[in-house]
A and B are shown apart, each in its own frame.
Chain A
Amino acid sequence: MTEKELVEGIIIYNSEAIQYLINNYQKNVIKTAYYFVENMENAEDLSQEVFLEILKSIKRFRRNATLSTWIYRITVNKSLDHLRRQKRRTIIQTMESFLKFAPDGIKKEENRMATIDTRNDDKEKRRILDNAVSSLPENQKIAFILNKYEGLSYKEIAGIMNLTLSSVESLIHRAKLNLQKKLVNYFSEYAKNNK
């Protein structure tokens, strides 16, 4: 099925076209969402939202970009919306914890963050990596994840993010510098705490 036939099929809710769409794109959608939200269950839920959005907005799809680029764009936007909602919930929960346990609670929390559980070194390293990537500025995070995790080229990322190639290069370069800095700081602290 060509892209044109697929788009026209989706517009008229042709079941064959919808099936084809899901068969060919669901894995990429779920994995991309997973790289952002770091939880497979949430990523699978988000993928449903993405496909519903595709069906809803397909008439607005302009053929100046490929369908794949457009779908990635929707996936990234939905993932970021999810992260923003999650962040708001976390802020509220943190404030509630603070009110419950302050000031001792804060100290306990700081100690928990500083302590490295050597029995679960791998788990800790995964957490450190995820935290470092999550803490990147939004555009750097998007560009880094699409490049390093999803394996997209700079050109493809530029299409998805609606940026120039040089902007994407700059974003990824800065993301790497930021990540290096965070990880090196973490490793240095780790060594200091475990001397």
Chain B
Amino acid sequence: MQKTTNKMDCYFVRSNLFSYQEKQLPDREYKEFNDHLHSCKECNRIVSEFQSVSSFIDEKKSVQPNPFIQTRILQRIAAQMEGAGGRQNPLFQRILSTISVSFFMLIAVIIGFSIVKLSEPRIFENINHQNDIQAMKSELNIPDFIDEYNAFFDNY
């Protein structure tokens, strides 16, 4: 009796390629799987291709790294530790850098304070200047400009 390929069997075969390859199928299913491969040319081809492709997993596992990589790793670590160590300045240098930063900040504050102080006398000068003008106006009987200005707009 000729065995016919069964679509369900094909689906089962194509969904259990790993299980078949790793011999994880129960005995009965394993036998049926093999029987199907004998009768189905297409599934047979697919299983064969799958086994061929998945053999490259073993090939990849056998690749070995460069034997001198250990030296490179150690050199990199040594360089990193040197760099990190260099960055950690001795105590004296750290104190000096703190003092320098503080000094420059102090200079900046002093300059800022000086700028403010230079601009302050102008206010007082203005006030004094205004007092002098008032005094002059009183002497010369000249009305305050503000009074005239207000009067002008009141009339307008």
Assuming A13-B81, A40-B63, is B69 touching A129 (CB within 8 A)?
Answer: no
Known contacts A26-B73, A180-B18; A149/B57 CB under 8 A: yes
Q: How far does the alpha carbon of A23 sit from the alpha carbon of B73 in the complex, in Å?
A: 11
Shortest CB–CB separation between residue A194 and chain B, in angstroms?
11
Which residue of A22, A35, A180, A184 is within 8 Å of B60 (Cβ)?
Answer: A35
B-facing residues in A30-67 (Cβ within 8 Å): 30-31, 34-35, 40, 43-44, 47-48, 51-52, 55
Nearest-Cβ distance from residue A17 to partner chain B, whole angstroms: 12
CB distance from B71 to the nearest CB of A (A): 10
Asked if B77 and A23 sit within 8 Å, CB to CB, the answer is no
**B63:A34 contact, CB within 8 angstroms:** yes
Contacts across chains A and B counted by CB atoms under 8 Å: 86
From residue 49 to 71 of chain B, which have CB atoms closer than 8 A to chain A?
A: 49-50, 52-54, 56-57, 59-61, 63, 65-66, 69-70
Cβ-defined contact, A180 with B17, below 8 A: yes
Asked whether any CB of chain A lies closer than 8 Å to the CB of B38, the reply is: no
A side interface size, CB within 8 A: 37
CA distance A165 to B73 in the complex (A): 34
Q: Would you call A98 an interface residue if the criterion is a C-beta within 8 Å of the partner chain's C-beta atoms? A: no
Instruction: Please give me the residue from chain B that is nearest to A150 by CB atom.
Output: B61
Chain A positions near chain B (C-beta within 8 angstroms): 13, 18-19, 22-23, 26-27, 30-31, 34-35, 40, 43-44, 47-48, 51-52, 55, 122, 125-126, 128-129, 148-149, 151, 176-177, 179-180, 183-184, 187-188, 190-191
List residues of B whose CB falls within 8 A of some A CB: 14-18, 42, 45-46, 49-50, 52-54, 56-57, 59-61, 63, 65-66, 69-70, 72-74, 76-77, 80-81
